[in-house]
Amino acid sequence: MKAGASAGARQTHAMAETTAVARQLDLAGAAQFARNLARTLAETGAPAAAVRETLANLVEAQCVQCGIRLSADDLLALADTGEPDPALAPKAARLRQGYCARSGCESYYYQITCRPGGGVDWNKVLAGVETAAQAQRSQAAEDEAERAQAAKRTRRRRLAARVAIGVGIALVLLLIRQWATGGAIPLIRQPAKYTADPASVNERPPE
């Protein structure tokens, strides 16, 4: 039973290595895809030169509208985390902005075709690319939620500060009024108490 299962797994793996795999790529995620693809290939233990060779010989990225194709250098420039120089890597610079590499083309999608060869299991590689993308999206969502909470806390602090300032101003104005009218000021001044002299009350005016 185990031998049959092992043979089936080997057959499936062999088919995966001899079958081209195609995906449609939204250019809004082109840079992320290129980075994850290069990283996943590198994680198989392939050196940088082998990754470039794999991209050059086995990966084809083509615009679905104008037909322009990306070279391995284009893909690697797109995968670079640095900002591409439009003068040195014009295609990567446009793709980073979500546009087709060809100036004037309004397409937003490319066809990615991974051809068999080199012992690469493209289904496994692309599954790793998607797993990485999902993790990055989850992290981005968590970061956005944290930023929203931080912004909410900041707004609350600012509101509390404005309320405190308003209360402080009101107290100062009340203190000034009490001082000017001779009213009581707690811990500072008590209102004057006037008492009548009994002798003056009993005095009668002269006749």
Domain ranges of the chain: 2-143
What is the model's pLDDT at position 102? 94
Higher pLDDT, 81 or 122: 122
Checking if the pLDDT of 11 tops 90, the result is no
Q: How confident is the model at residue 197 (pLDDT cuts 50, 70, 90)?
A: low
Nearest-angstrom CA–CA distance, 30 and 2: 42
User: What are the tens digits of pLDDT across the range 41-79?
Assistant: 888 777 778 888 888 889 999 999 999 999 888 888 888
Once rounded to an integer, what is the mean pLDDT over residues 136-165?
A: 85
Q: What is the mean pLDDT of the chain?
A: 81
